[in-house]
Structure 1
Amino acid sequence: MTSAKPAHIAMFSIAAHGHVNPSIEVIRELVARGHRVSYAIPAAFADKVAETGATPVIYTSTLPTDDDPEAWGTELIDNLEPFLNDAVQVLPQLAAAFEGDEPDLVIHDITSYPAPVLAHRWGVPAVSLSPNLVAWEGYEQEVAEPMFAGLKASERGQAYYAKFAAWLTENGLGDQVDRFQSRPRRSLVLIPKALQPHADRVDETVHTFVGACQGDRSATQGTWSRPDAAHGKKVVLVSLGSAFTKQPAFYRACMDAFADLPDWHVVLQIGKFTDEADLGEIPANVEVHRWVPQLDILRQADAFITHAGAGGSQEGLATATPMVAVPQAVDQFGNADMLAALGVARHVPMAEADAATLREAVLALVADPAVAARAEEIRAAMAAEGGTHQAADLIEAELS
């Protein structure tokens, strides 16, 4: 722990579980160390923020929420424009909210474009908290340029970049949109280094991998205990996270995969978009929930069928749980490939995720001693990355 004097730290994020959850324990730790933390967040997450001891600073966002994932559209530009449009209208809200109470330090999720703008305006350091992979040396040439070439040639894409550059220029940050988006001044990476592509080419003078920042979640999420019927059985957890969960046919396949395996018990999380009645008859060795205390279950589980989101992927790694990765969107496909390459998972495309395939994948992973050994090796390496306390130490170092 550093000896930083108590300070006013401002955190900025969006109303999405995948962007709030990874750093929530860091916020709790900063408050415990005596810092006053103001957390800019839409009202839907105010209670979650307040539980850490931070003070929610409520702003109105125009971004689609976890309740309506289809509102993000289907094209690349559909995923980009909302963040810029939201940033433009949020910036004056946040500037007014902090007027006369400017912080000593800004920390922010990678999606919060107003945060580094405000840090520049206030003349204080900004630290990015990345819940997923970061750019490596050569990233622009190998990934970004091919991915965005068509967009930058389109009329709609050109309008987007022109608007973004004008907004940055107006706020004194130049006009380099790509650099602003992918090259922060300072970054803490809240995933284990094992999940980072080309980790050996990441500039660690900018990015520090602190790994999973986990804590005791029992007070807010509860705990899980094996039901009497599951004692002595192997446990598999099935979860597709919080957004892309309207998948009754997939959940049926997961139940069918283990229905005739009496030595297995299935914990099935279906989220808010699937009606349990649509699943049909529930086998005796399956329990169904809308939400579960995922990390607590993984500490007891033998296997994890996951969408391979950043949070679930690292929780699987942190608990040395073999995974079957069935990605649904965005970075999950890359995460699934990384997990498979690490030797602790199988990547099963959604179109191939029938009962037979899922069962074979789980049973093969659990029976393979090499998978168990590799999973334990990664778990130990993650534990050494420091997690919550290391992240808080590095944030306090910026106060110097």
Structure 2
Amino acid sequence: MSKVLFINMLGYGHINPTLGLVEELIKRGEKITYLAEEEFREKIEKTGVKFKGYKIALSTDSLADIRNSEERIRTLLDLRMQSFKEIVKGVFEEKEEFDYVIYDSAFMLGEEIGKVLNIPTVCSITTFATNNNIKINKIASYSDKLETLMNNPNYMSIVKELKDGYSIRFPDISNMFKAKGMINIVYTSRYFQPNAEEFDESYKFIGPSIIDRKENINFSFKKFENKKVIYIALGTIFNNCIEFYENCFKAFEDMDVQVIMSIGNKLDINNAFKYIPQNFTVRNYIPQLEVLKYADVFITHGGMNSTNEGLYYNVPLILIPQSVDQPFVASRVEKLGSGIIIEKDKVTSELLKESVINMFENKNFRLNSEKNGQSLRDAGGYKKGVDEIFKL
């Protein structure tokens, strides 16, 4: 039995893919201390780990309403620097000696933690793997701006505190979006990964972690059987979009389809909408993996997890990317013939309807999605991920 330190940060998109891996590690006898934001305690503790939480003033939700690119960069940098500080403090408060550390690729200090603790490192990559040719996050393209912003006295104070107090040295700011480990677990397939040939054997493409989420949700699928089903969900951050949802009502209310719409917890369904068409099922939360088994089209923001899950079940995607890595993910889906991109500022009911009809009529979208899906299912999943970790 090994003692494992698992470090994670940012939102559900970074947490959810790791849960299957963690459960499998525990099943095979590992003892895990999982360090993440306090708000994820309940979800993560269900896997059987020892959870250690930290709190920061900002949350990933704060990114949703920021339109100015420089302000977005500054906010993301604030969020990351606060997280780095709290994570490092949390690591060195632990009295246990760990045998290896697994950390999210957003945690650019992971290799440093490994050096200071003198233990092997595993990087958990919940987006595409990145290098100098692949910058999936637009913010990563603004390296000059990042370097200027890093001269902020508050940030420099954190850098000094971590160096003086814990011997943690900050790597070059260009590494903020391309952390690595001795091995790198990537939750997609080599086929779906852009420029896959540029990544060496330390990169293990295991596909998405599809697990039973043990959700006790009162949701009947009977009325969706033998029907064309459209599933709509914009993720956990960018879902406060009443105008978009009303465009969906107008687009699909007269079509012979059933529409399942997940709107998140920011809106009160009873007060948010003047009316909901009869062929719509609107909920604050939907068991996504179950719904995707019935869906013919998935209208999504193009987050990596939702994209992987949709394609895993062979569902063609209409992608409306909002921010961060989503435009890059969407472009990859479109390039492989598995989806259609609609720019968020150009969404109309007419364009939504036209895109769905196009998908129903053009069978290539389904065929290409099946090809993508097969590659994801064949990648091995969290069990392969654990196999690779045990080879360390």
After TM superposition, the score normalised by the length of structure 1 is 0.88
Structure 1 residue identity aligned to 2:73: L
Structure 2 residue identity aligned to 1:266: V
Compared CA separation, residues 163 and 337, structure 1 to 2 (3 A): farther
The match for 1:316 among 310, 313, 320 is 310
Deviation at 1:195, TM superposition (A): 3.8
Deviation at 1:70, TM superposition (A): 4.0
Compared CA separation, residues 396 and 71, structure 1 to 2 (3 A): farther
Deviation at 1:352, TM superposition (A): 1.7
Could you give the per-residue CA deviations for residues 168-210 of structure 1, whole angstroms, max 9, x where no partner exists? 7652547433246524133111123344332222x22332211
Aligned partner of 2:265 in structure 1 is 272
SS at 2:298's partner residue? strand
1:177 aligns with 2:173: yes
Answer with 50-59 or 62-71: which moved more.
62-71
Deviation at 1:272, TM superposition (A): 1.4
Structure 2 residue identity aligned to 1:211: G
Query: In structure 2, what is the Cα distance between the partners aligned to 1:147 and 1:197?
Result: 21
Contact 1:266 1:287 in 2 (8 A): yes
1:386 aligns with 2:383: no
Query: In structure 2, what is the Cα distance between the partners aligned to 1:60 and 1:353?
Result: 37
Compared CA separation, residues 115 and 220, structure 1 to 2 (3 A): farther
Deviation at 1:144, TM superposition (A): 8.2
Aligned partner of 1:41 in structure 2 is 36
1:108 aligns with 2:80: no
Deviation at 1:63, TM superposition (A): 3.7
Structure 1 residue identity aligned to 2:143: F
1:122 aligns with 2:125: no
Sequence identity, in percent? 23
Correspondence 1:11-30 to 2 at 5 A: 11-14=6-9, 16-30=11-25
Aligned partner of 1:339 in structure 2 is 333
Correspondence 1:1-400 to 2 at 5 A: 6-14=1-9, 16-66=11-61, 69-70=64-65, 74-96=71-93, 98-99=94-95, 101-113=96-108, 115-136=110-131, 138-139=133-134, 146-152=141-147, 154=148, 156-159=149-152, 170=164, 171=167, 173=169, 175-179=171-175, 181-185=177-181, 186-201=183-198, 203-217=199-213, 219-220=214-215, 222=217, 224-228=219-223, 230-261=224-255, 263-276=256-269, 277-398=271-392
Query: In structure 2, what is the Cα distance between the partners aligned to 1:328 and 1:145?
Result: 16
Contact 1:235 1:267 in 2 (8 A): yes
Query: In structure 2, what is the Cα distance between the partners aligned to 1:273 and 1:15?
Result: 19
Answer with 334-343 or 84-93: which moved more.
84-93
Deviation at 1:66, TM superposition (A): 3.6
Compared CA separation, residues 275 and 382, structure 1 to 2 (3 A): same
Contact 2:6 2:103 in 1 (8 A): yes
Deviation at 1:242, TM superposition (A): 0.6
Deviation at 1:120, TM superposition (A): 2.1
Compared CA separation, residues 94 and 337, structure 1 to 2 (3 A): same
SS at 2:294's partner residue? coil
Could you give the per-residue CA deviations for residues 46-70 of structure 1, whole angstroms, max 9, x where no partner exists? 1111111112122233442447744
Answer with 343-352 or 206-215: which moved more.
206-215
Query: In structure 2, what is the Cα distance between the partners aligned to 1:63 and 1:394?
Result: 35
Query: In structure 1, what is the Cα distance between the partners aligned to 2:10 and 2:145?
Result: 30
Contact 1:224 1:296 in 2 (8 A): no
Compared CA separation, residues 125 and 180, structure 1 to 2 (3 A): farther
Query: In structure 2, what is the Cα distance between the partners aligned to 1:68 and 1:137?
Result: 25
Could you give the per-residue CA deviations for residues 235-281 of structure 1, whole angstroms, max 9, x where no partner exists? 111000111111001011112111001x2000011111223222221
Where structure 1 has 5 or more consecutive residues not aligned to the other structure, the ranges are: 1-5
Query: In structure 2, what is the Cα distance between the partners aligned to 1:282 and 1:302?
Result: 21
Deviation at 1:167, TM superposition (A): 6.4
After TM superposition, the score normalised by the length of structure 2 is 0.89
SS at 1:192's partner residue? coil
SS at 1:305's partner residue? strand
Structure 2 residue identity aligned to 1:125: P
Structure 2 residue identity aligned to 1:271: G
SS at 1:133's partner residue? coil
Where structure 2 has 5 or more consecutive residues not aligned to the other structure, the ranges are: none
Could you give the per-residue CA deviations for residues 315-374 of structure 1, whole angstroms, max 9, x where no partner exists? 111011011001111111111111111101000011221111111111211221222221
Contact 2:85 2:162 in 1 (8 A): no
Contact 1:340 1:346 in 2 (8 A): yes
Structure 2 residue identity aligned to 1:107: I
Answer with 239-248 or 56-65: which moved more.
56-65
Contact 1:240 1:306 in 2 (8 A): yes
Deviation at 1:21, TM superposition (A): 0.5
Structure 2 residue identity aligned to 1:207: Y
Deviation at 1:131, TM superposition (A): 0.6
Structure 1 residue identity aligned to 2:17: P
Answer with 45-54 or 240-249: which moved more.
45-54
Aligned partner of 1:3 in structure 2 is none
Query: What RMSD in Å do the two structures reach over aligned CA positions?
Result: 2.6
Query: In structure 1, what is the Cα distance between the partners aligned to 2:211 and 2:140?
Result: 38
Deviation at 1:166, TM superposition (A): 5.1
Query: In structure 2, what is the Cα distance between the partners aligned to 1:267 and 1:21?
Result: 22
Query: In structure 1, what is the Cα distance between the partners aligned to 2:245 and 2:343?
Result: 15
Query: In structure 1, what is the Cα distance between the partners aligned to 2:140 and 2:276?
Result: 48
